[in-house]
């Protein structure tokens, strides 16, 4: 998982577009208020490419972090929704009724 935090949160849309094709299948997760973009990437070389792309666009980077995906990241990839998502109206208890 690659996390990039921009110095200026206003640059998030441009940075997201620049980095979108570095993902390993799922769209980037964006926190526009914090200026952070999280991408599931195939390997560590993606971090260097991300820095090159943002630098070419003169977008200031506040931080870059490359880490193994968390259990929440894996769950989101497998199910398509976060682990802490609100349950739907069709809970098992209601189905049994």
The predicted-structure confidence for 36-88, as pLDDT tens digits, reads as follows 999 988 888 999 999 999 999 999 999 999 987 677 766 776 787 777 766 55
Q: Indicate the pTM of the whole model.
A: 0.69
Is position 8 within any domain?
Answer: yes
Is position 88 within any domain?
Answer: no
Q: Which residues contact 96 (CB under 8 A, 6 or more apart)?
A: none
> In whole angstroms, what is the distance from residue 76 CA to residue 88 CA?
16
Report the number of distinct structural domains present in the chain: 1
Is position 89 within any domain?
Answer: no
pLDDT tens digits, one per residue of 4-50: 999 999 999 999 999 999 988 788 999 988 899 999 888 889 999 99
> In whole angstroms, what is the distance from residue 23 CA to residue 18 CA?
11
Is position 16 within any domain?
Answer: yes
pLDDT of the residue at 65: 92
pLDDT of the residue at 37: 95
Which domain range does residue 62 map to? 2-82
Is position 96 within any domain?
Answer: no
Helix extents (H) in the chain: 12-19, 45-56, 71-79, 92-96
Is position 72 within any domain?
Answer: yes
Is position 71 within any domain?
Answer: yes
Is position 32 within any domain?
Answer: yes
């Amino acid at each position: 998982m690659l996390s990039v935090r921009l110095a200026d949160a206003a640059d998030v849309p441009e940075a997201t577009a620049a980095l979108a094709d570095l993902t390993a299948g799922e769209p980037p997760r964006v926190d526009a208020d914090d200026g952070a973009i999280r991408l599931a990437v195939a390997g560590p070389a993606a971090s260097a490419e991300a820095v090159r792309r943002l630098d070419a666009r003169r977008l200031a980077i506040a931080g870059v972090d490359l880490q193994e995906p968390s259990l929440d990241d894996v769950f989101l990839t497998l199910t398509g929704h976060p682990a802490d998502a609100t349950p739907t109206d069709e809970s098992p208890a209601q189905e049994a009724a």
